Amino acid sequence: MWNLVQKWFQGDSEEGQIWRIDQCFACHEPIREGVIFPEDQASFCVRCFYSTPCFCCGLPCGKLHRRLSDDRILCQHCYSSALLTPRQLAPMYEATLKCFRRKLKMSLKDQPRLKVVDSRFMKKNFNCSPYTWGLYVHDGSEETIYVISGIAADKSLTTLAHELTHFWQRRHCPKKQSLEMSEGFAEWVAFQVAKQHHLRRAMLSLRRNEAEPYRTGLKKFLEIESQEGVRGTVKYATTHQTL
């Protein structure tokens, strides 16, 4: 039966690498009995399937996980590209700004400060939940985007795009927009940035988010995009207060 399932799902991934359904995604050992995650292009042996889930991607970590200083646990795949220093954020910032300007036609004359912090800082200073990936803060004349450390590169990129959208919204959108409107558009922009860079898992993660109003907001903005296109969607966000 396992050989039959392997025949169905084995194939080339979007990154051009072979998805080894017969090899555990966590421990890399051969699988005789396991669990398949088709959308994630990952398979796990039974032992790894019941291990601690990764803080970043939510998939089982297995025995090859890494523990950060604030006790968050990452799988080896997320840790291999994890954002750990402010310097690593610079190329992501440039990539996001490029997508804003060229694909979305969303200009930014000025830029916020960027800071990479851990979950303890976010909890202590802003009382954020452990699963807050980023935060845009406007405090008087100071505007800062915080991105949490230890999340994979694709998650860091979409988090930065989401928070940078809030910075952009303050300059271009109605002041009294609903949360569904503001958060939904920020999720949609993050989705566009992920799409621009062919980050399939990041797009999948955004679609899977069940938290409100992010889920409903993204769904509605994707519907608007299907009717109005990218430029029309951006225009909608700058002229409406609610979805």
The crossing angle, in degrees rounded to 10, of helices 179-196 and 200-208 is: 160
Output DSSP code: residue 214. Answer: H
Could you say which of 47, 80, 113 is where a domain stops? 80
pLDDT for 139: 86
Tokens of 84: 């750990």
> Whole domain around residue 55: which residue ranges?
2-80
In terms of Cβ atoms closer than 10 Å to its own Cβ (0-12, 13-18, 19+), residue 147 is: buried
Query: Are 22 and 96 in a shared domain?
Result: no
State how far the alpha carbon of 147 is from the alpha carbons of 24, 83, 123, in Å. Answer: 31, 9, 13
Query: Are 97 and 44 in a shared domain?
Result: no
**By the 8 A CB rule, do 98 and 164 touch?**
no
* DSSP track, 47-102: HHHTSPBPTTT-SB-TTS-EE-TTS-EE-HHHHHT---SHHHHHHHHHHHHHHHHH
Residue range 100-145, pLDDT digits in tens: 999 999 988 898 999 999 999 999 999 998 889 999 999 888 899 9
Query: Are 91 and 58 in a shared domain?
Result: no
Query: Are 199 and 161 in a shared domain?
Result: yes
Tokens of 113: 């400060």
Query: Are 124 and 30 in a shared domain?
Result: no
Identify the residue whose tokens are 């916020």: 112
pLDDT for 18: 53
The 10 Å Cβ neighbour count of residue 159 is 23
Output DSSP code: residue 153. Answer: H
Query: Are 73 and 111 in a shared domain?
Result: no
Q: What is the pLDDT along the chain (243 residues), one digit of tens a residue?
A: 334 333 333 333 444 455 677 899 999 999 888 898 888 889 999 999 999 999 999 999 999 899 998 889 999 999 999 988 888 888 889 999 999 999 999 988 898 999 999 999 999 999 998 889 999 999 888 899 999 998 999 999 999 999 999 999 999 999 889 999 999 999 999 999 999 999 988 999 999 999 999 999 999 999 999 999 999 999 999 999 998
Query: Are 161 and 219 in a shared domain?
Result: yes
State how far the alpha carbon of 6 is from the alpha carbons of 37, 42, 239, in Å. Answer: 12, 12, 50
| Residues 24, 132: Cα–Cα separation, whole Å | 29
pLDDT for 78: 92
Query: Are 109 and 199 in a shared domain?
Result: yes
| Residues 65, 239: Cα–Cα separation, whole Å | 46
CB under 8 A, 24+ apart: contacts of 41-46: 41/13
Could you say which of 30, 53, 80 is where a domain stops? 80
Query: Are 182 and 204 in a shared domain?
Result: yes
Which among 167, 178, 107, 169 has a CA at the least distance from the CA of 138? Answer: 167
pLDDT for 190: 97
182, 116, 15, 234 alpha-carbon torsion, rounded to 10°: 20
Q: List beta partners, residue 113.
A: 144
If one counts the domains in the chain, the total is: 2
Query: Are 60 and 119 in a shared domain?
Result: no
Tokens of 169: 């919204």
Residue range 38-48, pLDDT digits in tens: 888 899 999 99
**By the 8 A CB rule, do 242 and 178 touch?**
yes
Could you say which of 62, 80, 98 is where a domain stops? 80
Query: Are 119 and 158 in a shared domain?
Result: yes
Query: Are 76 and 117 in a shared domain?
Result: no
| Residues 187, 165: Cα–Cα separation, whole Å | 9
